[in-house]
Structure 1
Amino acid sequence: MIQDYLPGIKNGGSLQFFLMAGPCAIEGEDIALRIAERIVNITDKYSIPYIFKGSYRKANRSRVDSFTGIGDEKALKVLQKVGETFGVPTVTDIHESHEAAMAAEYVDVLQIPAFLCRQTELLVAAAQTGKVVNIKKGQFLSAASMQFAVDKVKDSGNSKVCLTDRGNSFGYQDLIVDYRGIPEMRAFQVPTIMDCTHSLQQPNQTSGVTGGKPALIETIAKAAIAVGADGLFIETHPDPANAKSDGANMLHLDLLEGLIEKLVRVREAIL
């Protein structure tokens, strides 16, 4: 369980799934704090362990003029302030090995993006920080093949590793979720997470802006809990249409509590 990796996490004794949630990218301090406050209130209400998510920089963008961030140090300090203000762990993604030590000074969990999950130097650098390492499964890989990514982190002296499914490539412009992957990755004895928003992306659009199907977030999340996912990853924003990144597949923040309430009932039904 994630509580074994992050013993200070709020609601750590809960039998509920845990939640990684927040905006796709850190857009500024005020909006990050507002989003975090809303989610903390919801997760406290339902006794769900919570990790605030926000990318300090977006390196994988379709177009060169796409938003990438407000500045590395500035965004990392926002993540740090969120964690200190609300007493919750924070997670951000890194893209190159030299970023690991820098980001580790500000956050509790380092996330490896799906496209980079086979990058040995990146995984080793993340592991050597001693932080929790959350590896997203590549859209091009089977669940079983993620054992090698887990081994790279553990063989580097860090047993605090999680895996996140975010769907598989289905043609050029769509993804599909194979729910067999959840129990397959849980068999590696690591917390396994379902990314309920990125798994609904529609990449490689002719406009250069990734599309999505946010109306199906509830479907993805319910199915993930039903097959035993330990945690959920959800990007959420109070105004997805005007979010700086990935607005097409984010959950509107106003819908989060209703979704969580339903998911708690699903979890209770399978325990």
Structure 2
Amino acid sequence: MGEIRVGISGWTYAGWRGDFYPSGLPQRQELAYAAERMGSVEINGSFYSLQRPTSYASWREQTPDDFVFAVKGGRFVTHMLRLRDVETPLANFFASGLLALGPKLGPVLWQLPERLEYDPDVLAAFFGQLPRTIGELAALARRHDAKVPDERALTTAPRGLASRRVRHALEFRSPSFCTDEAFALLREHDVACVVADTAGRFPMAEAVTSDLVYVRLHGDQELYTSGYGDAALDRWADKCRGWAEEADVVVYFDNDALGFAPHDALRLIERLDPLTR
């Protein structure tokens, strides 16, 4: 059986205070509180801007030894450059501090905009630039430019981790990706196809294209706002058990607007216990 981890997309939400987070819990303790109850969290601030090594190091220190972070790739690469001419921006992203996560660095998520359609040449070129080990990540990071000053760049692989694998996942939102050709390209480059539940707004593909299945649950009735009922969570638990027969599975709840995400994550964990972490 593969490993199953269930968590949330982000953890700093004012509306969760006094609900998921107990009243009076200091904000600086929220990550630790969530990490005690879940096996993984998706860092999504990295999508909006380059973070700092000190931030990644702090997040690592606040979580248990067996915890794993997924890191969302920068929108400058995916939404502004649209995967083209991204060698230096990729170097900047990886130099910004991911290496400070050490053994807690999990998969890197690349979310594409809705209007970015499938182009095999662009996609293959992008996949070919992605680092597949911590050592490759560090080597790419050393090619950063002045957008990440030397004094705040992290470009050295942690000791003993250079050969550790780095996995990648692609969340597309254009139906043009839902073809056998596109799925074959993801398999060729060992990139996980994200299973994204978006209340029907965007396509949901369940193709297994790697030994990782990456699931993002944005809401099944209303995007970002609806919670998952018992029947829905039962179905997702069954899917996770099936995928785990051939792959590792990570699941992140992103229905955060009304505070359902952490509660739904815990309810799914209950259904998957003892398989999940």
Q: Same fold (TM over 0.5)?
A: yes
Structure 1 unaligned segments of length 5 or more: list them: 4-17, 40-49, 60-67, 155-160, 203-210, 237-245
CA distance in 1, matches of 2:219, 2:227: 12
- 1:91 counterpart residue number: 70
- 1:121 counterpart residue number: 126
Greater C-alpha Rg: 2
Shift in alpha-carbon separation, 1:72–1:143, aligned structure 2, 3 A: farther
CA distance in 1, matches of 2:109, 2:124: 9
CA deviation after TM superposition for structure 1 residue 19, in Å: 1.4
- 2:214 counterpart residue number: 193
- 1:21 counterpart residue number: 7
CA distance in 1, matches of 2:229, 2:166: 26
CA contact (8 A) 1:164 1:194 kept: yes
Higher normalized contact order (CA 8 Å, seq sep 6+, divided by chain length) = 2
Structure 2 unaligned segments of length 5 or more: list them: 14-26, 78-89, 138-163
Shift in alpha-carbon separation, 1:149–1:77, aligned structure 2, 3 A: same
Pairing of 1:1-271 with structure 2 (within 5 A): 18-24=4-10, 29-39=28-38, 50-59=39-48, 71-83=51-63, 85-95=64-74, 96=77, 97-98=90-91, 99-107=93-101, 108-115=105-112, 118=123, 120-121=125-126, 124-127=129-132, 128-129=136-137, 131-140=165-174, 141-142=177-178, 144=180, 145-152=182-189, 154=190, 161-167=191-197, 170=200, 174-175=201-202, 177=204, 181-182=205-206, 184-185=207-208, 188-196=209-217, 198=218, 200=220, 211-216=223-228, 219-227=231-239, 228-230=242-244, 231-235=249-253, 247-248=256-257, 251-264=260-273
Q: Which amino acid aligns with 2:238?
A: A
Between the aligned residues of both structures, percent identity stands at 8
1:153-190 Cα distance to aligned partner (Å, 9 max, x none)? x5xxxxxx5442114795xxx2454xxx43x32xx452
Q: Which amino acid aligns with 2:171?
A: K
Q: Which amino acid aligns with 2:270?
A: E
CA contact (8 A) 1:101 1:126 kept: no
CA contact (8 A) 2:220 2:228 kept: yes
Q: Which amino acid aligns with 1:76?
A: Y
Shift in alpha-carbon separation, 1:189–1:109, aligned structure 2, 3 A: closer
CA deviation after TM superposition for structure 1 residue 105, in Å: 0.6
CA deviation after TM superposition for structure 1 residue 35, in Å: 1.1
CA contact (8 A) 2:56 2:100 kept: yes
CA contact (8 A) 2:169 2:194 kept: yes
Cα-Cα RMSD: 3.8
Shift in alpha-carbon separation, 1:31–1:82, aligned structure 2, 3 A: same
Paired residues, what number? Answer: 198
1:214-261 Cα distance to aligned partner (Å, 9 max, x none)? 32365554333434233241237xxxxxxxxx6327634345433322
CA contact (8 A) 1:134 1:164 kept: no
Q: Which amino acid aligns with 1:54?
A: I
CA distance in 1, matches of 2:259, 2:2: 24
Q: TM-score, normalising length from structure 1?
A: 0.56
